[in-house]
Amino acid sequence: MIVRPHPTPLGLLFILRGSILPAIASRLLVVLIVSSAVVWLHRIAPAYLRDVTPAPFTLLGLALSIFLGFRNNVCYERWWEGRKQWGQLLAETRVLVREIMTLLPDDLALRRRCAHRVVAFAHVLRDQLRDAPDQAARVWLPATEWDRVACSRSRPDAILLAQAEELGALLRQGALSDMLYRVFSERLLALTAIQTACERLRSSPTPFAYSLLVHRTAWLFCLLLPFGTVGTLGLATPVLTLVLAYAFFGLDALGEELEEPFTQSQNALPLDAMVRAIEIATGEALGEATLPEPLLPLAFVLL
């Protein structure tokens, strides 16, 4: 996620880091070459390049703007839904760790083991959503437990199962009352709901046919626009074409990044920073003397 101070009006014109421009630079170069070629051909052989009325391009640009606006709204809603789910995860894990420290029997090893499972759950959920190797969770679990979790197809589920099994054993031993077990069970249910919602976002992208339609229409508009404006604008045709291409291709590329909120693109959610926040909150609840530092943006990008 881009995290940077609000730039000055003049600075907005020259910012590259955090801009979508590097991602679409190759497309803009193609449009610039085509529009410049149209201007050159119009000047040396006007008989072969008749003037075209710009009315069709006005209608096509309006339709494309509507399509892009709708698609970007859908993609942003997916991004925001992912942010809400991870915000809820932060809240649920903090409450669960607090309940572990206050409601479980006065056994520091037991409390530490259960609290560390909460951190491990956040690690494996993040890595599962990113299709990344989740070795970071290994240090938060006992070796034998990690071996069982590593063999599971759904590692977040395996960690929650291990937590539920330990709480169930305490219930059967009489060390945990029915009411307290229900409190913990509701927290585990909330974590499962968050995991399921994130998996739904991860496995259900926007319809490919719609994205393809918008992408093709943007290319068609930007490549044909010089033919409709060269007779009126002349040498200024590449400038106008480039500005419109920047807007349309930029919105298209930004929608692609927002559509997948759990990746490691510069506009994706900062899952690493949120997992680190869970580590810090858990360490403080356990009274640990050494706590990790919060993650800070690197070159204005917070991962």
Domain of residue 123, residue span: 22-286
Strands of the chain, DSSP E: none
181 domain residue, yes or no: yes
Q: What angle do helix axes 208-233 and 21-44 make, rounded to 10 degrees?
A: 40
What pLDDT does residue 291 have? 86
Predicted local distance difference test score (pLDDT) of residue 4: 66
> What gap in Å lies between CA 94 and CA 106, rounded to an integer?
19
In a domain, 215, yes or no: yes
The pTM of the whole model exceeds 0.85: yes
- The count of domains in the chain is 1
> What pLDDT is recorded for position 12?
60
Burial class (CB in 10 A: 0-12, 13-18, 19+), 118: buried
pLDDT: which is higher, 266 or 111:
111
Which pLDDT score is estimated for 17?
67
C-beta of residue 64 within 8 angstroms of C-beta of residue 221: yes
Distance CA 31, CA 239 (A): 10
Give yes or no for a contact between 242 and 13, defined as CB atoms under 8 angstroms apart: no
Per-residue pLDDT, 253: 87
Say if CB 78 and CB 267 are below 8 A apart: no
> Is position 301 within any domain?
no
With residue 23 as reference, give the H or E element that holds it: helix 21-44
Residue 279 lies in a domain: yes
The answer to whether 31 and 245 are in contact (CB under 8 A) is yes
Considering the domain boundaries, does residue 6 fall inside one?
A: no
Is 276 within a domain? yes
Please report which confidence band the pLDDT of residue 71 belongs to, taking 50, 70 and 90 as the band edges: confident
